[in-house]
Structure 1
Amino acid sequence: MSGSFTRRDFLGWSLGTGAAVWSGFPTVVPASALGRGGWVAPSARIRLGHIGVANQGTSNLKAFFGCKNSMTTAVCDVDRDHLAAAAALVEKTEGQARSCLTFGDYRKLIESPEVDAVVVTTPDHWHALPVIDACAANKPVYVEKPLSLTITEGRLMVQAARRAGVAVQTGSQQRSDARFRLACELVRSGALGRIESVIVGLPGVNFQGPAVADSPPPAQLDYDFWLGPAPKRPYNAKRVHYNFRFFWDYSGGQLTNWGAHHLDIVQWALGMDESGPLVVEAYADFHPEGWFEVPTRSHVTYEYAGGVTVRCVQGGKERHGVTFVGSQGTLFVDRNRIEANPPELLRVEPTTRLTVSKNHHANWLEAIVENRRPLCDVEIGHRSATVCHLGNLAIRTAINRHFGEDYRDIGRVEWEPTTETIVAFSGRPNPNSLLNRPYRQPWSLPSFDPSNRETTAS
């Protein structure tokens, strides 16, 4: 990345030893529009590079096809079959005069002068490094939820975005849904009275069993690169691609999958985008034959300042969505409906209005052009992911894990959201070491300075 701000520069800069170097971008989008000031002509199109293009990656490709001020010029995936399918889809849809660039190494895509901004739709353990590297190259990022695999990763991603001054949008698209926005506006406006509790319902695990034996990886998959910073393990067809989310090395189960959506709405409604819960308690069930590692069912209770209790139940009987219980009524919201009891609560005119976005992907592109932070800025994504991670930390400390009424061993985390430190953790020594996980060499994160806690403040 000659002439640009590299990841190596960022490593030094994060320790206070470097300085920013801004580089120019060729054609289409002027460099000034991708950082600190400037504007983009209405006819300009932001050239996107997509890292991870299967499943949700394909959905993100198609979503950006519908955005008039962007075009996809490059795709990257460690599975050659997925890569070829994505490139063919881009060329068919975009109707480009030249072929879509393809990469097996995300770093090459970020370095490409044909890419102005980056979309990251990889497994969770591969979110942090591409985001940090793209920010170091002065390139805005759209990154899927949950933002991070660990709390430390999330804070480093915030620092990288702030130092580069680029727009980083977390893919928590429910913030661009009018139903969820209205629910949060009504809660913040006091339409439900004092909020006493919140109930979040998450689905059960959709792992397609049974488990299978380890085997050699398929020829089209660069399995070592797929693992990346995760521990070295034999290839197993039921651990990769969609199923990654059910193994601790790569994700956090439905609590980080769907919880990153619904707990994000809780954070928004409670005005906690720069904060979080104070106490987390949890217990869970696990698959009796060990097909996967995350809970089949879990029950997590979050206590927030002011006495609000959030009960998050995964795989139970609770409605899949968010229910706010107030002193003057209740409100339920999911992706299909918003309901209130009494019904007239929905006719209350909110006194608190939140940012309107009708298209989460377009909101990010607009933020790039207008040199502002997007609706679900990286700090917001980090804080919401932290809520999920704290729940999983509590779950994993409950030794006798079951839903039986006779006995429940409950994991407990006491959290200080201002300093982002664990105050107490089920009697474990050195609990703050659990905020991060070691990376497999040669991959590494920048050093984390806990005193440098850049947030949404400019």
Structure 2
Amino acid sequence: MNPTTPRRTFVKQLGVLTASALAVPTIIPGSALGKNGFVAPSDRINLAFIGAGNQAGNDARGFLDDPRVQITTICDINKESSGYWNGKVAGREFIMKMVDDFYSEKHGKKFKSTKGVLDFREVLEAKNVDAVEVVTPDHWHAIPVLMAAANKKDIYCQKPLTLTVSEGRAMADAVKKYGIVFQTGSQQRSGKEFRRVCELVRNGRIGKLQTVICGLPGGTPDFGKTGHLTETVPVPKDFDYDTWLGPAPEAPYSPSRTHVNYRWNLDYSGGMVTDWGGHHPDIAQWGLGMDHTGPVKIQNPSSVWSDHPVWNTATEFYFECIYENGVKLIVTNEAEQGVTFIGSEGKAWVTRGKYKVTPEKLDDTVISPGEINLYKSDNHYRNFIDCVISREETVAPCEVGHRSITISHLGNIAMMLNRDLEWDPVAERFPNNFAANQFLHRQMREPWGALYRKYLV
């Protein structure tokens, strides 16, 4: 690397060489990274985290193992507190310490790697940040993603990708316009068992596909151990609650509303329907070959909704998605967890770490090079970095993530209205249905609404 060449230019130059040699992104061998796999600091990808909750900790560990990455910035409006997964502690200072401790142990001396930031806009305007992970609550995905794309930052964004359908369309359009490498955190696409089953289905091993069943968890589990803390209380000293609400409606503070339990309130998320909707329905779309489209009808919605003082998402749910080719996709909490593909000659069920094909002999078949060979990724984090370097598309790009989570949004809308709905996957509208179309976007609280509109493309 020429000392005068900016890191991002170097990465793109390297990508030209990589892309010319490889048909699809693969993990770069250590020999290409220098002696013993060492990557010079000037060549590493500087990665910033926007969000420092429990998932940020999980993802940071995934990126720390990659020598091509340097985590340099942790941004969150909460300094540090409990209320995250299983009631444990997380927050800006907590994740910063975790990252610094990793690098200190790696280098054998005290190592200060990360900068703590409260305002995500500072991160997105920083010239020395190459890529960002947006790992905030769902209602806070769209604005940072639009701004990151406009500032030419590559993006890893956690699932569920958006709060609404229109936000997903805006994000996908911005990523496309600015040529951004984007990875949706639907990591099951990097699982060999999911790829295997989807290849069997796509290549007709179970015959003509008829029905797909996505079994998701139900309920509103008290992940943060704060479900009983529903009364309005003073906001903690080191927590900027007003910014945490951001574009969502103003609401009194209670511990049950924030951190990991935010997902049980429709102002910030969509309950289990969207929380797991970024996983199993995503695999259903992959197996269906419908990554860039969607169903044409949502029917037979049925649901039970939480009666908690703060939480209001569906605890029990069922809806059917009908595709133009006649295949029916069922999403429910009443089925075995995982994805079941049912065809005219057999069926295949898959969940994390295992799968089963019936009849068993179907699993003995080999997918030949001339058949449909799906994108192979064995590590979701490395796949993102591979593509930042190669400038190739990731295994879970923005358009795909948007189309997958749209399934869950459509189901929630049908269940809230308690009616069947026609859907146009090209226009991404409900034909001649004013009431349903009102749910495609949420009114954003100012000044965040203006900021969102500023970055629409």
TM range (shorter): 0.7 to 0.9
CA contact (8 A) 2:230 2:309 kept: no
2:427 counterpart (415, 419, 426): 419
SS of equivalent residue, structure 1 residue 366: helix
Does the alignment pair 1:231 with 2:249?
yes
Deviation per CA, 1:413-442: give whole Å up to 9, x if none.
2101011111154xxx35423211111000
Partner of 2:158: 144
User: Which residue matches 2:9?
Assistant: 31
Is 2:305 the partner of 1:283? no
For the residue of structure 1 that corresponds to 2:254, the secondary structure is coil
Give, in angstroms, the shift of residue 32 of structure 1: 5.6
Instruction: Give the distance between the partners of 1:49 and 1:27, measured in 2 at CA.
Output: 21
Of Structure 1 and Structure 2, the greater helix share is in 2
Gap runs ≥5 in structure 2: 19-31, 34-38, 81-90, 105-109
Q: 1:214 to 1:155 in 2, by over 3 A?
A: same
Q: TM-score, normalised by structure 2?
A: 0.85
Confirm or deny: 8 A CA contact 1:211 1:291 kept in the other structure: no
Aligned Cα RMSD in Å? 2.1
SS at match of 1:30: helix
Match of 1:364 in 2: 384
Deviation at 1:29, TM superposition (A): 2.5
Q: Give, in whole Å, the separation in 2 of the partners of 1:297 and 1:413.
A: 20
Match of 1:377 in 2: 397
Aligned-pair CA distance for 1:159: 1.4
Report the CA distance shift for 1:448/1:93 in structure 2 as closer, same or farther (over 3 A).
Answer: closer
Which residue is equivalent to 1:300?
Answer: 319
Work out whether residues 34 and 138 of structure 1, in 8 Å CA contact, stay in contact via their aligned partners in 2. Answer: no
Task: Map 1:101-112; keep pairs closer than 5 Å.
Answer: 101-112=115-126
Distance 1:112 1:419 in 2: 36
Q: Deviations over 1:360-403 (max 9, x none)?
A: 011011111001111101000010111111011111112xxxxx
Among the aligned pairs, what percent are the same residue?
Answer: 37
Give the Å deviation of 1:290: 4.7
1:113-133 residue CA offsets vs partner (Å, 9 max, x unmatched):
331100111000000111111
- 2:286 pairs with one of 240, 254, 268: 268
Matched, 1:433 2:438: yes
Q: Alignment partner of 2:395: what SS?
A: coil
Question: Is 2:68 the partner of 1:51?
Answer: no
Return the match for 1:390 from 391, 398, 410: 410
Is 1:116 paired with 2:118? no
Report the Cα offset of residue 97 of structure 1.
4.2
Deviation digits for residues 26-72 of structure 1 (CA, Å, limit 9, x no counterpart): 97733363599646983321110001111111101111011121110
- Given the alignment of the two structures, is residue 336 of structure 1 paired with residue 335 of structure 2, yes or no? no
Residues 126 and 288 (structure 1), Cα distance of their counterparts in 2 relative to 1, 3 Å cut: closer
Letter in 1 for 2:425: P
Residue 383 of structure 2: SS of its match in structure 1?
helix
1:34·1:140 contact (CA, 8 Å) conserved in 2?
A: no
Partner of 1:157: 171
Cα distance in 2 for residues equivalent to 1:100 and 1:205: 37
CA contact (8 A) 1:52 1:122 kept: yes
What is the TM-score when the length of structure 1 is the normalising length?
0.85
Matched residues in 1 for 2:242 and 2:59: separation?
A: 25
